[in-house]
Structures are given as C-alpha cells and as structure tokens.
Structure 1
Amino acid sequence: MGRSRMTPNTGTSHAYDDGTRRTEILQTAASIIATSGLRTSLQDIAEAAGILPGSLYHHFDSKEAILVELLRRYHEDLDRIADEAQARLNDPDFHPAFDQIAGLCKAIARCSVAHRAALQMSFFEGPSSNHELTALAARRPTALLQSMLETLRAARWSGYLRSDVDLAMLAGRAVQTMLQIGLDVMRGNASSDKSAALLCRILFEGLAAGAPTDEQLDGSAAFQAADAVVRSWTDDADADDKAAHIRAVARTEFGKKGYEVTTVRDIASAAGMGTGTVYRLIGSKEQLLAAIMQSFGEKVALGWSEVLASDSSSVEKLDALSWINTNALDRFADEFRIQLAWMRQSPPDTPNPGWLFTKRVRQMKAILSQGITSGEISIDSPSNDLLARSVIGVGWIPESILREVGTRASLLCVRDTSLRGVVVTRS
C-alpha cells in the first residue's frame, strides 16, 4: 500500500488524509484513543465516526486491526522523517548545524502529536494474540535514531558539538525527548514546533550560564539532600503481607499493560489469588491505583521538598532534582510508566495518581525565575509555563539510556546536556 498524502500539521491534525472512509475511521479512532486510552471500544469508534458498528467491520475486522494500522502509519511517518533528514544532510546548500538538528526535532515532535494514539501504544507491552501488533508496539525507531546520529556527526564535523560528547547517547536522548512532546502535558498549550525548538536549546546549549563541574554539583547541599532521600527509600514489595503482595503485582501489571486495560481479574491471576480475595483486601481497582501511586508520590515529593529547602543555587537544585528523578525511574519503573500514561493528557485539577504535576510546574517556575533573575540560568523562552514544563521533561532521562548505562552515567548525561550544554561555544 502506498503512502498517503501528508497534510500540514498544526499540532492537532492527523498525519494521513487521503479522503477515504477508511482513513476517516482511523483518524476518529486515533482521536478517541489519544483522549480515552486503549479501553476505547469498536462501539465507541463507530459512534464517533457516525456509522453503525456493522458498517465499521467492512473496513476493519477488529479493534486490533485498527491498532495495527495506526502503529504501521506511525512508523511509516517516522521512517519518512528519517529519510528526509538524511536527504538534507546530502544537500549541497549550507545549513547551520543547529538548524539541521532543530528541523529534525520539530519533525519528530509534529509526528508525535499527530500520532498520539500510536505513541501511547508504544508505552506498553499489552497482551495480544496479534503478533504484528505486539511487534509494532515494541518496535524502536531505528532509522530515526540513525538519522539523528548522522545529523549530530555532521554537527560535530562542522565544529558545533564538542568532541567528547557521546553522540549515540545524545541521539537517543534527543529522539525520546521529542517524542515525549506527544504527551500534551509536556507542551501545555504551546505548538509542537515551539516545544521542540525550546527543548533543542536546553538539550544542546544547556541552562547554566556557567559550567559547573561534577565536583561542585556533587558537593552541593541540594545534591546531598537528594542523595539522602534516595538512600532512605524502601520498596513496598518488601512488606510481608498479602495486601503488599497484591500492590506489588498490580503495579507490575499496570506498568506493563496500562491501567485502563488491566482488570482486577488480571491482577488476581498474576498474584495467584481469587478475584474475591483481591477485592476484600484492596477494594476497587481505583483504590489500588491510589495506594500504589500515593507511596510513589510521597517518595518523590519528599525529594523535591528537601532539595527546594536546601541552601543551594538554582542550577544546583535542578541537578539534584534530576538525581531524584533518575533514581525514582531506576527503583520504581512501573510507577513511572503508570504516571506517564496518566500524563497522556493535561492533568486535571483534581489530584492525579501520585505526582501532582501542576504543583511541580509551579515549583519549577519559582526555581527558574530565581535562576534567571540571579543570572545563573540563561535561556530564551516563549513562556514561563512552557519553560517549566520543558525543564521538568528533560529532568527525566529516557529509561532505555538508564538501563544501558546506570544511574550515575545517566546523571552525567543530564548534566552534560540540559545544564552545561554540548556545544563548543554558547550562542
């Protein structure tokens, strides 16, 4: 099947529009899944598309067939972006290194917004008898990572990037960061292009007006406070009781499959218990989620509180918060995936499962305002809100990098990018 005609992306439109009824159904399904999650049924999709469920079966024989097509088109789009980036590198006309990098990052961000439903599916392993669906959901954007790597190599050859930078790690961090823009909460009301441009500035040129050394950052009061909190964390699964066992099993199931599609029956089966027993011990699925995420949220919140209360500079506090985040992801990966799924949309005013995102944005604004006023932080931003959301986003290292290099090297990666920057000279 040939590629469909691409439509201009405004941040809300869908990537494919060939005018067919089949594509209209896919666009409708993508919109509903992006806002309501994977629990969306064929009935929901048919109603939103204004057709009878029976008519929908003329185009797709199952919900999984729709998911496969959404993922296939998402990966086709990512591969197209990779091809176009490669072609630009071979263009004989001169393009400044930052413009090349930013252009690729903006294209990735637009794609992530246009394919939010497929992006969600890539977060979870999701049980399925459809092998193509499983493979597509787990597929890494290999061609895109390679194109980003080649773009960064060209930037190094031009003298834009330092020679000591691990380009493969930087490429992975840049691609994953731009894909996260597909989570509405990370860009707020800003366009994908504005978000991508700002994140590029942060990742490549850094926030710190100076260049704090690792020794200075390690010795700060903020880092010492963060490290003390990290060492105080205990795993709730260590508790020797049935309720704790259920919580441990549930957080794994929620993290692997997603909260919406995981049932109490799934949790009971994985825990080796009866469904009735699980209900008696933990109540509803909503109560179980709240118990899991409350514990996670309290651990992270304690870290933020201790760091913010420390007698340290704004840059030192940003660094210490990254240490909190890195260790939270390392120790509580399932809770992080649950939180990531929740952050699919802008969080409601009511408390979300564990992390109180709106409060974190408010706290980050205060840190950044202090740093900009004192001259410690130097960054041009279209808005304080977008800057705070972006800095929170880059404070979390991609899990793939963390698993590959460990917590300390991940922290150094954050320092070298979002704090000190990786360019030869600051513009």
Structure 2
Amino acid sequence: MTASLSRASEVALGGSRADAVRQTAARLFEAAGYTATTMNDIADAVGVLPGSLYHHFRSKEDIAVDLLTSLGHALDELSAAAAHRPETDAETSVRRLTADVVTLSFRHAAAVHLRAHEAPPTVSTDRFREAMRLQSPALERAWRQAVGSLATAGAAPSVDLGLLRFAFQHLSFYASSYYPSVTNPRTLANHICDVLLNGLALDCPDDQRLDRSAALKAATDAVAGSRRSGRAVPSGDREAIIAAARAEFARRGYEATTIRDVANAAGVRMGTLYRRIESKEALLTEILGSYGALFEQAFRAIVAEGSSAPESLDAVARVFVYMNRRYPEEGRIVRYGWSRRETTTGPLHDYYIATEQRFAELRKIMRRGFGSGQLRRVADPVETALHFRSLLWAPYHEHARTSEARAHGFLREALLRGVLSPR
C-alpha cells in the first residue's frame, strides 16, 4: 500500500510539473512570442534544468500543440454548454455567450495569440499545422442562434445581423489580443455588449446629416488621396521583397517570420535581398511608414474640423473601414504583432507610440461627448475609447467580402445607434 501511495504521489508530482511547464510556456509565448521563446527560456522560468523538460514535452512545438488542443477542447465544452442551456431572452443569450468566449480567450491567451496568424512558423510539423487549423462548428451555430434571435427581440431592421455576429465572434475570441491581461473578462464582455446593443450616441444624427458632416468630408478626402495614389505593382527586386515581407509578416507574424522566409517568398537569393534591404527591421519600417502616415493625416483632419462627437466618431469609423479593406496585410501585422511593443525600440514600437497619440485624440472626443451629453457613458472615456477602437479593428471585409459602404453603415447602426435602441 505504501508503494502504491508513493507511485500515486510521483504521478501527481509529474502532472503538476507538466502543468507548471505548460503554464509557464504559455506566459512566455504570450509575452515574447512563440518564435522568440526557447526551451531554455522555459526551463529557466520553471526553475529546472532544460533536460528535465523533456520528461514532459519533447519540444517547444509539443507544448504549443498541447495549448492549441486544450483551446479546441474548451471551445467544444463551451459550445455544448451553450446548446443545453434553458431558453432565455435574446439579449441575455448574447451577453452570456459573449462573456463565456471572452473569459475563454483570456484563459487560453497563448493559444489564441498563436491562432491569430493563419500560418504556423516555418519549421513545424503536420501536427502543429493541423492544430493551427482550429475550427468549432458548434460554436458557430451557437453564435448564429444567439445573434439571430435578436431579430425578433427588437433589433432594428436596418442592422446587418451577419456583421453583428462577426463583430461579436471576432472581438470576443481575440479579446486577449486586443486588451491588457489584467482586464476583467466579464466586465469587458458586458461593455462590448453595451456598445453594440445600446450604441454610444444618445441622439444620433440621421444618415443625411452624418453624410454632410465636415468630419466625414475630411475623412473622405484623406482616403480619396490614398486611393488615387494606390499601391505600385512590384517592378523590381526591391519592390518584390517589400511585397513579400508584407504578406509574410501578415501571415506568420513579424517575429515568427525569418529573413529567409521573405527571400523565398520574393523568389530572390539571400545575397540579392541584402543588397536591396538592410534588415528585417528596415522592411517593417518601410511597410508601416506610409500606412501610419495615412492614419495620422486622416485623424488630424477629422479633429481639426471640431464636429460633434457622434459625427467625429462616424468619420473615424470611415477611416478604419477604408484602412482595413485597403491595407489588410498591414492591419494584421499591427493587430496581432505587438508583443513587447511598449518596452522596446523598433518599427512596431514606433507605430505603437504614434497609435497612442491618435488614441489620445479619440479619448478627447469621448470626454467631449460625455460632457455635452451627446454620448452614452458605457465606461470611463479611456475604456470607452478602447472598446470603440477595438470594434473598429475587426476586419469586416473578411465577412462575405463586405464592401466599405456596408461596413461603415453597420458601424453607424451598431456602434453609434445601438442594435436594440429605438430608432
């Protein structure tokens, strides 16, 4: 009996050590990125020799596959629980499902961050690639049922329920990529629902007035200039290298992409690449330079007009819709490629600083709207601005090839007026 107890204790200790390795690796993947994390890093953080890790996981990839598999099981369990809940009113169903998925996103943040990119790292096995192709048809059905039920629960007929479902699905699943790790998931989910279901504008202008606003004209002029200039078709090695880097950074993430990945995608030799481009950092600097400059120009133009808070938010939404559709690769790079952005130098950090300056202007709009009684107080100005910006970042063009006009119309109806608010 003593021997049995001893063996049981060993198994339990082994299980707890494996859990410690898994949890520590998850934190490191989340903070520094999968590619930048080594088995030695994990061993140091756990407080064991590297060789001890191999009793539990053969490689860093095994840990990643384990995390992704756990995420898949959690999604299945969540979907099953949602399917067997007693029927309730539509708004409660949407709020509960949103809260469950946001909570899951933070609980499995490392796997969610891995899943944010459609391509696994260059050196990976079929197991890893399969784990990255995570699908949850049952959760998709749960979202369709919950959001679809709003149609008979007072949702405005003008609201695009397909895009509404996409907004809920995208932001709730990727919440841990958009928000700080200290965020309370249930509070966050409640705020997201408040914004989409009730809207931010207390007395939103009609479409004709919004279309005539000085802020929207400024936004439209800014994107029109970019549309006319367009993006040049690669005509030489240098342009081909930049185009390939843009695509690879978007697919794999900046940190996970090697300079050799870029050379292979561009179809050039490494020597040719280094004669045309100084470094991977220089590539990202060039890619984000014009992208960030256009955002900056549009924001400055909107703010300078001094339009009402709802009109200003509508114009900002127009800019995001255009940028997401026109520059989808840059959008993916900056949405999901921001690990260590606040504490390091480099292209992503520089872009982050510029983004924070634009975010400060958005907070000012929120404060002005709260002070004038034009905007609803979902949370304090900082949190409200963050929720608004996060919902604008959703790539609506990926849903059924949504046009700019359709996406902008949806954002007016949902973010400004609210899905369930009386018209």
RMSD value over aligned CA atoms? 2.5
Distance 1:235 1:54, change over 3 A: farther
Could you report, residue by residue, the CA deviation over 1:34-55 in whole angstroms, capped at 9, with x for unpaired residues?
0000211222222222233322
- 1:352 aligned counterpart, secondary structure: helix
Residue aligning to 1:366: 364
- What secondary structure, in the 3-state scheme, does the structure 2 residue paired with 1:395 have? helix
2:53 pairs with 1:34: no
Distance apart, 1:118 and its partner CA: 0.9
- Structure 1's unaligned 5+ residue stretches are 1-17
Determine which structure has the larger helix proportion and give its number. 2
- What amino acid is the match of 2:92? D
Check the 8 A contact 1:145/1:171 in 2, yes or no.
no
CA deviation map 1:265-313 (0-9, x unaligned)? 2212222222233223221211221121112111111111111112422
**Cα gap change, 1:168 to 1:24, in 2 (>3 Å):** same
Shift of 1:259: 0.8
SS at match of 2:351: coil
Contact 1:401 1:410 in 2 (8 A): no
1:10-409 counterparts in 2 under 5 A?
Answer: 20-39=16-35, 40-88=37-85, 90-91=86-87, 95-124=88-117, 125-126=119-120, 127=122, 129-157=124-152, 159-183=153-177, 186-187=179-180, 189-233=182-226, 234-238=229-233, 240-344=235-339, 347-348=342-343, 352-355=349-352, 356-381=354-379, 383-399=380-396, 401-402=398-399, 404-409=401-406
Q: Deviations over 1:41-86 (max 9, x none)?
A: 2222222222333222222222222211111111221222222222
- Equivalent AA in structure 2 for residue 118 of structure 1: A
CA distance in 2, matches of 1:349, 1:305: 27
1:13 corresponding residue in structure 2: none
Amino acid at match of 2:171: T
TM-score in terms of structure 2 length = 0.87
Q: Say which is worse superposed, 168-177 or 397-406, in terms of deviation.
A: 397-406
Q: 1:151 to 1:375 in 2, by over 3 A?
A: same
Contact kept in structure 1, 2:199 and 2:414, CA below 8 Å = yes
Secondary structure (helix, strand or coil) at the match of 2:393 reads coil
Secondary structure (helix, strand or coil) at the match of 1:139 reads: coil
CA distance in 2, matches of 1:235, 1:120: 31
Counterpart of 1:9 in structure 2 is: none
Deviations 1:221-244 (A, max 9, x none): 222221221121134544645433
Q: Which moved more, 1:347-356 or 1:331-340?
A: 347-356
Are the equivalent residues in 2 in contact too, given 1:315–1:377 (CA < 8 A)? yes
- Alignment partners' CA distance in 2, 1:236 and 1:205: 39
1:223 touches 1:319 (CA, 8 Å); kept in 2?
yes
How far, CA to CA, are the matches of 2:338 and 2:60 in structure 1? 24
What are the superposed Cα offsets for residues 333-356 of structure 1, whole Å, 9 maximum, x if unpaired?
Answer: 111111012345674486725352
Change (3 A) 1:164 1:307: closer
User: How many residues matched?
Assistant: 402
